[in-house]
């Protein structure tokens, strides 16, 4: 069966037109949360945040500590974060450096160094090929951004929730 030249040329020209768009697309470099309000001094907020991080997060790289830096006086904690999301029938792993910043009565969460890799059947290789999250087509960067935002929301919900009762 002989295909007409047009049947091959049109898909190739569309693909060729998309390649420069992907190559020139920017990366998802930073995702900032809103500024959340809560009760307490920045030291109290940092203590709640450290507990919530230990309960909710998992480290982004094998052998790395979960909390990379913790400065109560400055109200800053840096976390090596890992999360995942599914898009286009692929499960993606995301690694971010999450910075938790607290001041009296408020805090915010900033994700930087955002990288992704395919997480094949939940069996990440010990040396995955982490790459930046590119905003070009066909990369599912909006799904990655939502996964990062959801991580911030989970942490913020935990930090702003009232302490559980001691009556148990």
Residue 88's pLDDT is what? 78
pLDDT at residue 47 in the model: 94
> 22: how many CB neighbours lie within 10 A of its CB?
13
- Among 51, 31, 26, residue whose Cα is nearest residue 114: 31
pLDDT at residue 53, as a whole number: 95
User: Of the candidates 34, 92, 100, which has an alpha carbon nearest to the alpha carbon of residue 66?
Assistant: 100
The whole-number pLDDT of residue 126 equals 57
Q: What is the structure's pLDDT at 23?
A: 55
* Residues forming beta bridges with residue 86, ordered by sequence position: 91
Place of tokens 């898909």: 11
What structural domains and CATH numbers belong to the chain? 25-160 (3.30.530.80)
Average pLDDT by consecutive 10-residue portion of the chain (168 residues)? Answer: 52 42 74 95 94 89 86 94 85 91 96 86 62 85 93 96 70
Which pLDDT belongs to residue 58? 84
pTM as predicted: 0.78
Q: Are 100 and 80 in contact (CB under 8 A)?
A: no
**What pLDDT shows up at residue 124?**
56
For residue 110, give Cα distances in angstroms to 15, 119, 147, 162. 35, 24, 13, 23
Strand blocks (E) in the chain: 30-32, 36-37, 67-71, 76-87, 90-103, 106-118, 131-132
Cβ pair 130, 116 in contact under 8 A: yes
30-54 residues labelled b (16+ CB within 10 A) or e (exposed): ebebeebebebebeebbebbbebbe
């Amino acid at each position: 069966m002989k295909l007409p030249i047009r049947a091959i040329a049109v898909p190739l020209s569309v693909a060729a037109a998309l390649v420069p768009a992907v190559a020139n697309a920017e990366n998802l470099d930073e995702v900032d949360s809103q500024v959340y309000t809560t009760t307490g001094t920045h030291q109290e907020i940092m203590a709640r945040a450290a507990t919530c991080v230990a309960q909710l997060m998992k480290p982004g790289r094998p052998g790395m500590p979960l909390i990379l830096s913790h400065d109560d006086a400055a109200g800053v904690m840096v976390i090596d974060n890992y999360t995942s999301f599914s898009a286009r029938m692929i499960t993606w792993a995301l690694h971010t450096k999450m910075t938790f910043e607290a001041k009296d009565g408020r805090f915010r969460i900033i994700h930087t160094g955002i990288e992704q890799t395919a997480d094949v059947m939940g069996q990440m290789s010990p040396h995955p090929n982490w790459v930046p999250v590119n905003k070009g087509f066909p990369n599912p960067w909006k799904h990655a951004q939502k996964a990062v935002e959801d991580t911030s929301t989970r942490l913020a919900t935990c930090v702003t929730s009232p302490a559980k009762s001691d009556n148990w």
